[in-house]
Amino acid sequence: MKKIFIKISLAITIAFVLTSCDKDFNSLGSDLLDDSHFNLERYEVQNLIAYSKATGPVQTNNLPVNSLGVYNNPFFGTTKASFVTQLELADTDPVIGQNVEIKSTDSVYLYVPYFSTKEVVNGNNVYELDSIYGNINSSINLKIYENGYFLRNINPSPNPNDQDSYLQKYYNDDKQLIENNIASGQLNNATSLSENEQFKFDNTELVIFKTDGNGNYVNSNGEVISNPNDRIVKKRLAPGMWLNLDKNFFKTKVLDAPSINLLNNTTFKEYFKGLYFKTEANPGQDGVMAMLDFSAATITIQFHSDVTSELSNGTNVTVNSKKEVVLKLKGNTINFFENQNSVDYSNGLSASNSTLGDDRLYLKGGQGSVAYIDLFGEVNPETNVPYELEDLQSRGWLVNEANLTFYIDKDKMTGAGMAEPQRIYLFDATNNKVLADYNLDGSVVTDLKRNKFTFSGIIKLDENDKGVYYKIRITEHINRLLNSDNEDLRKNIRLGLSVTEDINVSSNAFLKTPFNIGSESVKFLPFSSVMNPLGTVLYGMGSSVPQDKKLKLEIFFTKPN
């Protein structure tokens, strides 16, 4: 995951577009025709209504990436994110052996890699962390416990009339299910406070040196050495969460477990229900939050035991040696969000008006808010089509390009620790699916989060790397509305707008409590919005909005001969 930096560009060439590197692809996609539009005619839609809606609690089980930490957003308020996950054996039915002992030279440790980029400087690996929000030098109080609540796949009480009710859904406010079923003491109980009470996300490369299995460093010949300069690097790992865990707990829970509980991961997950990562803010600290892929994490349990084997001559030989069992943080998961919304954000949502539209649009991920846009204004009661759309449909224009542009309220998006969403996502909110322009855009780049750059929604930055606007191309959507022979494609729909963590994720999450816009019930929002902890404030269409900052839909067209 890389931060997306898109600079505003005044002039481009097609050759530059095709050879542009990832960090400078602002010229691609929605900016391709921005300046001259090749002498096309331009029409700006006159009737737009846009407004915000709070999502309430949202479905957060089994997200591709999860938030962990405490993030203080200068405008939106504070979000605290915790996490629970099942565990799986990397190798099922492991041979543990007899006389099992976790010696002082053995370790039980957790490793969760961070999203980072590497650069070699003077022969050394230097890493820059990304997807870290807030003050990276800030600490949080991190506690890990055994989870005693079984995370189900199937809803035990489905509604027979609702096909969607059969799969189990968990929501960001279901934390008490886990809090009421903590099954152990704190497991990250090392004496070093950096592993618990004063935890920080560190960009240091992790280096593991070669040892003899008994805690002694050895050289390439296996000889014990005392000079630190002679140590042999066994493995280098990218920066990540590295925590020593309670040895006695894992010996009892895993190594001493009846073998039937380790036979396969189905029985293992029923026996060992997982781990709970609980976060709290530290007094006087700004707070920090990271996006993590826990499915890439491992717990390594090192131990010594006797294993008896039979030689070719029929003699049994018992050998005591060092071994390890590896657990993966895979299976069902839930991400918990707890928000303390600011007064300004709460008041802005409370004042939202879906009839008249809003001066400001509030987009926030997680349990946050989404905006909705109704195009073309008043509807002709005889045809059920907006008057403005009927007029446009009668003109027979060839639509060359159509863009929605959302300007950022820079006054509200300021302050220490303010991180702006690098992309927003426009979707069909009437049918809860992607727009035609999303589907038709096959553009790809090295950083997958920048795919579909023609459809865009990528932030445009000023010379100070502050957001100016987001632009989303909906050429095909408008072309179908105006010119399609298919009546279904000519039907006007409500558009939804959210932040997005990953443009490649287009599936929907459920709202715990659906809400209505007019007579329509809203039950879903994009999973990509749930995954993103950030927010932005955009200008709408109200009378207090400066004319050059208003939301606009521009259509560039060619008249028929």
Q: How many domains does the chain have?
A: 2
Same domain, 170 and 302: yes
One domain for residues 397 and 442: yes
Residue 72: CB partners within 8 Å, gap ≥ 6?
A: 78, 134, 286, 287, 417
Residue 81, beta-bridge partner list: 69, 337
Of 303, 336, 369, the residue that ends a domain is 336
CA-nearest of 493, 274, 455, 488 to 373 is 493
Question: For residue 19, is it within any domain?
Answer: no
Whether residues 432 and 354 fall in one domain: yes
How far is it, in rounded angstroms, from Cα 343 to Cα 51? 18
pLDDT 10s digits, 312-360:
888 888 989 999 999 999 999 999 999 999 999 999 999 999 999 999 9
pLDDT tens digits, one per residue of 470-497:
999 999 999 999 999 898 899 999 999 9
Q: Which of 297, 312, 336 is the last residue of a domain?
A: 336
| For the chain, percent of residues with pLDDT exceeding 70 | 93
**Whether the Cβ atoms of residue 476 and residue 426 lie closer than 8 Å to each other:** no
Instruction: Kindly report, residue by residue over 74-123, the tens digit of the pLDDT.
Output: 999 999 999 999 999 999 999 999 999 999 989 999 999 999 999 999 88
The reply to whether 516 falls in a domain is yes
Residues 302 and 389 in one domain: no
Q: Are 461 and 525 in the same domain?
A: yes
The model's pLDDT over 278-297, given as tens digits with 9 standing for 90+, comes to 999 999 999 999 999 999 99
Kindly state the greatest CA–CA separation across the chain.
96
For residue 389, what are the domain limits? 41-60+341-558
* Confidence label for 28 from pLDDT (cuts 50, 70 and 90): very low
Model confidence pLDDT, tens digit, residues 419-443: 999 999 999 999 999 999 999 999 9
Tell me whether residue 35 is in a domain.
Answer: no
Query: Is residue 16 pLDDT above 70, yes or no?
Result: no
- Contact partners, residue 163, CB within 8 Å, separation at least 6: none
Instruction: Among 336, 358, 387, identify where a domain stops.
Output: 336
Alpha-helix residue ranges (DSSP H) falling in 9-115: 14-19
Please indicate, yes or no, if residue 187 is contained in any of the structural domains.
yes
Whether 364 and 410 map to the same domain: the answer is: yes
Residues 371, 315: one domain? no
Q: Count Cβ atoms within 10 A of the Cβ of residue 394 and give its class: 0-12 exposed, 13-18 middle, 19 or more buried.
A: exposed
* pLDDT above 60 (res 22): no
Name every residue whose Cβ is closer than 8 Å to that of residue 241 and which is 6 or more positions away in sequence: 110, 111, 112, 114, 201, 292, 297
Say whether both 371 and 326 belong to one domain. Answer: no
The pairing of strands 316-328 and 206-209 is: unpaired
Task: Answer yes or no: do 327 and 195 share one domain.
Answer: yes
Domain match, 49 and 177 both = no
Question: What pLDDT score was predicted for residue 10?
Answer: 31
Vertex 197 angle, CA 251 and 151, to 5°: 55
pLDDT of res. 37: 57
The partner residues of 401 in beta bridges, in order of sequence, read 556
Question: Is the residue at 16 inside a domain?
Answer: no
Instruction: Specify whether 91 is located in the same domain as 163.
Output: yes
Instruction: Judge whether 191 lies within some domain.
Output: yes
Helices (H), 26-133: none
Q: Measuring CA to CA, which residue among 296, 293, 336 is closest to residue 147?
A: 336
286 and 361 belong to one structural domain: no
Distance (Å, whole) CA 503 – CA 448: 8
Instruction: Reply yes or no on whether the pLDDT at 3 is more than 50.
Output: no
> What does DSSP assign to residue 254?
I
- The pLDDT value recorded for residue 38 is 61
Asked which of 306-315, 362-371, 388-397 is least confident by mean pLDDT, the reply is 306-315
| pLDDT range class, residue 249, cuts 50, 70, 90 | very high
Looking at this protein, which amino acid is placed at residue 256?
Answer: D
Distances in Å between the alpha carbon of 537 and those of 341, 500, 514? Answer: 14, 14, 23
Residue 543's Cβ-count burial label (10 Å; 0-12, 13-18, 19+) is exposed
